[in-house]
Structure 1
Amino acid sequence: MKVTGRRLGRAAAAAAGALALTVSMAACGGDDEPAATVDGVELVSDDTLTICTNMPYKPFQYEEGDEIVGFDTDLLTLVADDMGLETEIVDVDWNQVTSGAAFKAGKCDVGMGGMTITDERAKAIAISDPYFEATQALLVKADSGISGLEDLDGKKLGVQVDTTGQIYAEENADKYGYTMPAFDDLSLEITGLQAGRVDAIINDNGVLYDFVKDNPEYAVATEFDTGEEYGFAAEKADNGEKMIDKVNEVLAAAQEDGTYDEIYAKYFGEAPQS
């Protein structure tokens, strides 16, 4: 199975030519320290686009040597480049991104992490236009004999906290009779499967297929048609909405000029299906 990209539907086309970079100084909330304002977006740190995420979530963000790379990382680097900024990535608990707490605390300007757009999250944070399609999948040991949730009666299904995979697992637990040990991040969830603490795990298909490429002793047993779309996050406030407008603008331009397809192929092997 192949994950598929999505053309941005609502983002406005980027204006032709380079955007003028405007920098002014403004007070940051009730803080006496000034913060840079670039293209109308007030930043938490001068000369930097500060990005919150929960590491690792390969291939969307992960460490490669001394660098943090990935599909989401590259896309937000386009935003930073357009604004004339460097990037800094801050590792936080995932619920700090989805609840908006990281933005309210001034930890970052924007959040990434293969984040599914949901109505509940949209109440707490500003969310970009969709930029990626995904669904949930089940990872098992290749010789386990498990082909779906129906084979997990009396067994343990690992979930990652504060994810749509956890929500899907909870909705079907009574029907299929499994228990759900919870893990704080993807790496711990996979380690739980490797160590035999759970019989299977559920998470987004993109990250699980990426894991299987390098670990053939594991397999994606099945997928669940949850019809999810990813978006980037910011504070649900006027400044956060301006940040999201900038993200939408830059990603729309990347879709138009082919840069998005190049980045997609870099991490998923080929350009997205139209």
Structure 2
Amino acid sequence: MTSRTPLSLLLAALLALTVAGCAKDTSTTTTESGLKLVEEGTLTICTHLPYEPFEFTEGGEVVGFDVDVLEIAAESEGLDTSVVDIGWETIVSGEALNTGECDVAAGAMTITPEREAVMDFSDPYFEATQALMTQTGSGISSLEDLAGKTIAVQDATTGADYVKENAPDDAKVVSFEDSALMQQAVKTGRADAGVNDNGLLDYFVSQNPDVEVTNEFKTGEEYGFSVKKGDNDALLRVINDAIGSDAYDEAAATWFEGSDG
């Protein structure tokens, strides 16, 4: 048996402490009503900013429709809320929930079979479809009009998937990390058009008259909030109650001018 010197033992101990310090604590606390939380007294929300009007920063705080709905759920349990801005791929893969970054994931997230395989979803809370945005007066009203032109999309979104499946072969598809960059690419002329969810683009157009939505593509999409797979049915029930509440209708009216989503 090979003996180890005191120095080597010390180095090994320091390495072990370093690894332990880098590991994410995935332990949870459970409320009296059965909700599992990564932080006692707080509903921790993962999202990817910005995605107006669903979640974005205003006055140093994260606000938006998704935030309002989850605050309704949190308040019903006497909880505070905390928002974590994290990569979209980390959210839709289920990694953010599995590693204890948050209790619930939000982000105008379409419920898909692939995502349902790695996360549990709430009831649908918003109907969406894909929209085509261009500079005002461009004359572009279909994907076919974009042959040989540039289309902006957002990474890992259903809009990006739709464009890749339906755009002309000679169209150039440029993918951006977040929705703000995608929208600015169209506004500034770096891209001839952009495709993303109608709620997002309709809101952007309402704030920017130099761009317009010229078409929508019916894709039958619905948004949901997600929790860790097979691990937080109690939290899903609380979120579903919030979606079905009068307070939800009031939040929808605030952000979508009376639309119920």
- Interval of TM-score (by shorter of Structure 1 and Structure 2): 0.7 to 0.9
Counterpart for residue 217 of structure 1: 210
How many angstroms does 1:219 deviate by? 0.3
- 3-state SS of paired residue (1:238): coil
Q: Does 2:152 correspond to 1:158?
A: yes
1:126 to 112, 120, 124: 120
Q: Does 2:236 correspond to 1:244?
A: yes
Counterpart for residue 65 of structure 2: 71
- 3-state SS of paired residue (2:62): strand
How many angstroms does 1:242 deviate by? 3.0
2:256 to 268, 271, 274: 268
Cα distance between partner residues in 2 of 1:78 and 1:187: 27
How many angstroms does 1:124 deviate by? 1.2
Amino acid across the alignment from 2:249: D
Q: Please show how residues 105-120 of structure 1 align to structure 2 within 5 Å.
A: 105-120=99-114
- 3-state SS of paired residue (1:201): strand
Identity %: 46
Q: Does 2:93 correspond to 1:99?
A: yes
Contact 1:79/1:247, CA 8 A, preserved across alignment: yes
Q: Please show how residues 171-182 of structure 1 align to structure 2 within 5 Å.
A: 171-173=165-167, 175=168, 177-182=170-175
- 3-state SS of paired residue (2:97): helix
- 3-state SS of paired residue (1:242): helix
Specify every segment of 5 or more residues in structure 1 that has no aligned partner in the other structure, as ranges: 1-29
Counterpart for residue 75 of structure 2: 81
Counterpart for residue 55 of structure 2: 61
Cα distance between partner residues in 2 of 1:210 and 1:45: 33
Counterpart for residue 190 of structure 1: 183
How many angstroms does 1:109 deviate by? 0.2
How many angstroms does 1:262 deviate by? 1.0
Contact 2:26/2:38, CA 8 A, preserved across alignment: no
Amino acid across the alignment from 1:57: Y
How many angstroms does 1:191 deviate by? 1.8
Counterpart for residue 164 of structure 2: 170
Amino acid across the alignment from 1:242: A
Which protein shows a greater Rg? 2
Specify every segment of 5 or more residues in structure 2 that has no aligned partner in the other structure, as ranges: 1-22
How many angstroms does 1:176 deviate by? 5.5
Cα distance between partner residues in 2 of 1:32 and 1:188: 33
Cα distance between partner residues in 1 of 2:242 and 2:191: 41
Q: Does 2:192 correspond to 1:207?
A: no
Cα distance between partner residues in 2 of 1:235 and 1:35: 12
Counterpart for residue 36 of structure 1: 29
Contact 2:72/2:247, CA 8 A, preserved across alignment: no
Report the count of equivalent residues. Answer: 238
Contact 2:25/2:100, CA 8 A, preserved across alignment: no
Contact 1:149/1:176, CA 8 A, preserved across alignment: no
Contact 2:151/2:194, CA 8 A, preserved across alignment: yes
How many angstroms does 1:172 deviate by? 0.8
Counterpart for residue 138 of structure 1: 132
Q: Does 2:227 correspond to 1:234?
A: yes
TM (norm. structure 2) is 0.86
Q: Let me know the Cα RMSD of the aligned residues.
A: 1.8
